[in-house]
Structure 1
Amino acid sequence: MESRMTLSSDDLQYHRRVLISAAVRAGYAHTCRYEEPAARREIARMTGVVMSVCGPGRGPNTPTTLIEALHHPLARIAPSLFSDSHMGSLTVLDAGELSDDVYAEGCEDIVELLSGGVDPARRWLPTWAWMHGEMVEREAFQLINEGASEQEYTAHRYFVVKQPAGGERQLAEVFSQAAGMRKSVRYVPIPADQVFRGKWWWPCPVCQWPMHVDGGEVRCRFPLHNAAYFVRADSAKGRPLLQRRDGGVPRQPAARPFHREGPNRSMCVETAVWRHIVISGVSEIYLFERLEALQPRGVEVELWPGKDRYDLLIRVPATSWELRIDVKDYASAVSLADRLRRKPPAARTIVIPDYRGEAQRDELAELLPNLTVLLVSEVVKAVKAELRKAGRR
C-alpha cells in the first residue's frame, strides 16, 4: 500500500469510505446470498471495487477471499488507508452475520459507489447500505418539508425519535395528535430478527427501537446504548422476561406483543432512519428536555430551529447569553471532522454524547480548532453556571 501514501488527505479519506462502503455491501450480500439471486453478483462487484482501491496485487482478489477478509478488521485489507483512523478495527462479519459494528460505525462512512440511478443493487439492498446519512435524512423528511411550518417540522421529527416503533393504529393516532399532520416517515413491519418466537419484541430502553433477537439473547444493535440481555423466564402471564447480560438488576424493558397483521400490526422505522435520525435525535432531545426543565429559572431553548438549521438554540436573557449547538454522534472523530470541514455547520459549537468521552472531545477539538467541542453534560453545566451568574445580578 506504499503507493497510497502519496494520496492527499481528502483522497485518502474518500478511498477509505469507498472501501468501507464496498465491504458493508458485500457483507450484507453474503448474509442473504441464498434468498437474493443477485447477492453473489454484488459480492463479485464489490470485490472489484476493493481491488481498485487497494491497487494491483494487493487486497482480496476473489469473492471468497473478500468474504474471508470481512471476518477480520478492515485494516488488514488496506493498512495505509486506516493509519489515522480507528475505523480499521471495523469487522463486518461475525460468524457469517453482520456485526453490530456495521450498524454502530460502518453506517457513518457509507458513500454512493454508483450514482445516477444505475446501481442495480438498490432494488434489494437496504438503504443504509448505500445511502449516506445526510441523504437518508433528506429523503425521510422530504414529504413534510414542503409546505410544513417550522413548528410542524419540529413536532414531526420529535415524534419519529420518541416513537420509532409500535402498533400501526396507535402510531397513526399519536402522530396525528402530536404533529397535527398526515404525512410521516415510512414505517415497516418489524423484521423477523427483532421478534422473539414470532410473538414478542422489546424496545431498547434508550432509543425505543426493536432490539435484535438471537436465540435467547436480546440486544440493541447500537452497542453504546448498553442494552444487552438474556431471555430468562416466562412470567405467570406467559410474557417472557429479560435479565441484563452483565448481571445488573434494574428493571428491564417489558416484552410487547408482536402482531403480524391487522390494525395493530407491529411497525418500526426503517434501519436507516433509526441509525441516522433516531440515534442522534435521542441525544438532541435528551439535552433539550434537560434544558427545558430549567425554563422556570430563566432559560429559553429551541429545538431544531429553522427546520434543523442546527439542533439547539439556548438563551439566558438575563445575561444576554446565547449558544447555538449541533449535536453529533460519530464513532470516528476523523470521519466527523472530515464531514464538518466539507460542510461547515451553522452552529459553532459541536456537542457529543457523554458516552463518546473526553478523549473524542479532545481529538475533535484538535482536528477542528475553529469550533468549540463540548460533551452534553458540559453544556448543562455551562447553562447552570450562567443562571448562577444571572442570580447574582
Structure 2
Amino acid sequence: MTGSLAMPMGREAVVTACVQAANVWWSDGVPVGTKWRRVAELHGRVALAHLVSTGRVFPLVEFVDALGGSLSSLLPPSMREDCDAVDLLEDGGLSSAAADLLLENMSPSVTAADMAGWSWKSLSAEKVQGWLFRQLLVTGSQSGYVEARSTVIRNSAGPLVGINDAIKRAGLPRDGLYESIPAWAWTAKDGQKYWFGCPICGWPMRVQLDRMTCQYRPHADMLGWIAVVWQKSGTPQLGPFNRKKLPGIQVVRDRDCAAHPVEDHLCLVPAVWRYSTIPGLEECHLCEECNQIPGVHAALWPDLDSYDLSVAQPNGKTWRVDVKDYTDPGRLASVLSNKAVLRDPTFRIVVPDYRSRQVPLLNERLNEAFGTARRTYAMTSRQFLGMIRRSAAKGTDGAR
C-alpha cells in the first residue's frame, strides 16, 4: 500500500491505536465523555484498516466491547502476529504485555512537558532509550558509560540513600530515573507498608490478595505467583518459588528476597526498568558466561554502546552482538531491517531464551529484507553461547 493511506493503516499505527484505546477506556478518573471522544478518534484508524483490508465495516460499539479482550480480536487478520494473542486488560487496567506492545510500536509527538514529567505511557521505546543514552553519555568516557549503565541495571529499586549514592557516583541525575514505590506493590499489616523486589530483576512486584509476581511477563511466567508469608511478629517473607525454572537468565546474585519498607525507598520509572534493566540483565549474563570460556574475552557496550557486546575468540575472530528483548518480533524485524551493520557476517542479534519462538520469524524476515538465503541473523542466548564454546574449544585445541 502506498500514498496517504499507507501510514494510518500500517501495523505499527493500528496496534498503537488499539492499545491506546484500551489504555484510555480502562483509565480511572477520565470523564466518560472524554473516553468516548478519544476512543472514537482511535477507532477511526482501526476501522479504516479493516475496511481496506477486508471490506468489513467495524462499528464503534463492537470496537469498545472488544477492548477488554485480546489485541488480536481488534486487528484485521492480515496484520495479526502471534504476539497479539494477549489480553488488553489486567487487574482493571492495561496489561503489561499490551503496554510493551504500545511502547514498541508507538511513535508519538512528545512535548518538553511530557519529558519533564516523564509521562512514560506516552513515550515509545526508542524515545526512552534515546533519553537514557543521552544521560549516560554525560559521563564522558567509555569506563564512565559502563559504570553508569551498570548502575541502572544493578539498582532497579532500593533505599533512597543507597540509590542517591550510587547514581551520584555514576554521574547520573535522579530526576526522570526514579520514583516512589507505586501503591500496587504495597503489602501492609498493622499500618506498616512493605514491598518485595522481583528475584530476577529486583523491581517491585505487583501484589494481589497476598500473592505477588513480577510486572515483566516473562519473569512472571518463570516465577509464577509467590505467596506473602506473614509472621506473628517481624516483617513478611516471600514464600517458596522454583529457582530451577529460570533457564538462561539467572536469579540475580545475592538478591535480597526480604520485605522492604515503602517509606524512603525508590524504584526506576517503568520505561527505564523495561528498556534498560531488563535487556541489561541479559547483556551482563552473556558477558559473564562468555568470559568464563577459556580464551574468550567479552566486553560490554563498546564504543559508548555502539552495540551491546564484543566477544573475541582464541582464533582471532570477534563477534559483535546486539541483545534485543521485544514482545513484538514483527516490529523488531522492521527496526532491524534498516540496520546496514547486519550485513556484516560477524554481527549477531541475540534474544533471551524465553524469546526462542521469535528466532525463525526474525531470520526469515531479515533474509527477505537483505536479499539473502538461509543466513543466520538472530539466535537465542543459549545458541550463541553454544556457538562460542564450540568455536573456542577448536581454537584452543589448535593452539596446542
Q: State the TM-score, normalizing by the size of structure 2.
A: 0.81
Go from structure 1 to structure 2 and tell me whether the alpha carbon gap of 1:123 and 1:308 turns closer, same or farther (over 3 Å shift).
closer
Q: Name the residue aligned to 2:388.
A: 383
CA distance in 2, matches of 1:70, 1:196: 30
Percent sequence identity is 24
Structure 1 residue 206 displacement after superposition = 1.4
Q: Secondary structure at the match of 2:229?
A: strand
CA distance in 2, matches of 1:169, 1:304: 28
Residue 10 of structure 2 is aligned to residue 15 of structure 1: yes
CA distance in 2, matches of 1:30, 1:245: 35
Residue 37 of structure 2 is aligned to residue 41 of structure 1: no
Structure 1 residue 213 displacement after superposition = 1.2
Structure 1 residue 350 displacement after superposition = 0.6
Q: How many residues align?
A: 368
Q: Name the residue aligned to 2:156.
A: 164
CA distance in 1, matches of 2:98, 2:272: 15
Q: CA RMSD in A?
A: 3.3
1:217/1:228 contact within 8 Å kept: no
Q: Secondary structure at the match of 1:391?
A: helix
Q: State the TM-score, normalizing by the size of structure 1.
A: 0.82
Structure 1 runs not aligned, ≥5 long: 1-5
Structure 1 residue 268 displacement after superposition = 0.6
Structure 2 runs not aligned, ≥5 long: 371-375
Structure 1 residue 156 displacement after superposition = 0.7
CA distance in 2, matches of 1:11, 1:246: 48
Structure 1 residue 80 displacement after superposition = 3.4
Pick one of 293, 299, 306 that aligns with 2:296. Answer: 299
CA distance in 1, matches of 2:137, 2:244: 43
Go from structure 1 to structure 2 and tell me whether the alpha carbon gap of 1:230 and 1:388 turns closer, same or farther (over 3 Å shift).
closer
1:202/1:255 contact within 8 Å kept: yes
Q: What are the within-5 Å matches in structure 2 for residues 235-274 of structure 1?
A: 235=231, 237-243=233-239, 254-260=257-263, 265-274=264-273
Structure 1 residue 253 displacement after superposition = 6.0
CA distance in 2, matches of 1:233, 1:48: 47
2:363/2:377 contact within 8 Å kept: yes
Q: Name the residue aligned to 2:46.
A: 53
Residue 329 of structure 2 is aligned to residue 329 of structure 1: no
Write out per-residue CA displacement over residues 240-281 of structure 1, whole angstroms, 9 at most, x where no aligned residue.
233358899999962332233xxxx11011111111111111
Q: Secondary structure at the match of 1:374?
A: strand
Write out per-residue CA displacement over residues 6-65 of structure 1, whole angstroms, 9 at most, x where no aligned residue.
569x9489632223223333333334332x56x852552243122133227733525xx5
Go from structure 1 to structure 2 and tell me whether the alpha carbon gap of 1:374 and 1:274 turns closer, same or farther (over 3 Å shift).
same
Structure 1 residue 379 displacement after superposition = 1.8
Q: Name the residue aligned to 2:373.
A: none
CA distance in 2, matches of 1:43, 1:144: 41
Go from structure 1 to structure 2 and tell me whether the alpha carbon gap of 1:142 and 1:165 turns closer, same or farther (over 3 Å shift).
same
Residue 290 of structure 2 is aligned to residue 285 of structure 1: no
Pick one of 354, 359, 362 that aligns with 1:361. Answer: 359
Letter in structure 2 aligned against 1:335 = R
Q: Secondary structure at the match of 2:273?
A: helix
Q: Name the residue aligned to 1:109.
A: 105
CA distance in 1, matches of 2:166, 2:129: 22
